[in-house]
Amino acid sequence: MRQQIVAGNWKMNKTLEEGIDLTKAILEKVEKPNGLVVIAPPYPYLRELGKMLKVRKHFHLAAQNCHEEEKGAYTGEVSADMLASVGCEFVIIGHSERRQYFKEKNDVLAAKVNVSLARGMRPIFCCGEPLHIREADTHVGYVAKQLKASLFHLKEEDFRKVVIAYEPIWAIGTGRTATSLQAQEMHQAIRVLVSKKYGKIVADETPILYGGSCNAQNAAELFAQPDVDGGLIGGASLKADDFATIVAALK
C-alpha cells in the first residue's frame, strides 16, 4: 500500500513567531494521521520548526526549493546539503511558481532532483499544465514531457523515493479546482506513464498528490479517488483548523 501524504507549502508567509504558533496548533489538532504530514516553511524557520516536528511520529520537514549546484558563488541560494544539515527530509521541486516566476526549466529541475536525492532527501516533484494546454486537450502529453525530462532518467531505486504532485496551474490560487474526476483522470494517466517506464509495481507504490486549490471542503472527495494519495496544500496550510481537516481526510 503506497504512502498517503499531506504536505503544507507555506510559501512566503508567516513570521517566525507566527510559524511557531501555527506549528504548535497543527501538532495539537493532528493526533494520529493516516499518513505522513509534511511541513514546508520558509528557509529561515527550518531548523526551529524542524525541532518541533521531530518529536512527533509521521511529521516531517521539507524545504520549498533548493539550488541545483552543490555549492559555490550563488549569492542568496540554498544548497541541498545545507537543507539536509538542518533536518529536511523532503524538498519541493518544480513548483509552478518556480517555473513561472524564476523560469526554471526541466533540465534544471532534473539537476535539483539529483542533488536532493544525493543528500538523502525525497523530492516532491511538481508537474501540471496551464489553462490553454488544458483547453487544447493536450495536458497529458504536456505533463508526460515534464516527467520524462526531469524524472525518467532516474534509476528505479532512486525513483522509488520520489513523490509526484500534480498541480493544474489553472487551479492554483484562482479559486478554481479540478473536479475529483478530472484529478483522478490525470493521476491515473501519470501512474500509467510511470508504469510504462518503471513497471506496474513501482507505479502502484508511487505517491501522487493533488496540488490545485485543495482545501478543507473538497479534500475528502479528492482523496477518495483511487489514484489521489493526498495533497500539496498551499493557502489552506496556513490555517491550523483547515489543515487538520485536510489531514483527517486521508484514506
Catalogue the active-site residues: 95, 167
C-alpha to C-alpha distance for 198 and 221, rounded to whole angstroms: 29
CB 220 within 8 A of CB 249: yes
**Which grid coordinates belong to 85?**
544539515
Concatenate the DSSP letters of all residues of 79-130 into one string. -HHHHHHTT--EEEES-HHHHHHS---HHHHHHHHHHHHHTT-EEEEEE---
Question: Which residues partner with 230 through β-bridges?
Answer: 5
CA 170 to the chain's CA centroid: 17
30, amino acid identity: V
Comparing C-alpha atoms, which of 150, 148, 131 is closest to residue 139? 131
Orientation of helix 139-150 relative to helix 180-198, angle to 10°? 40
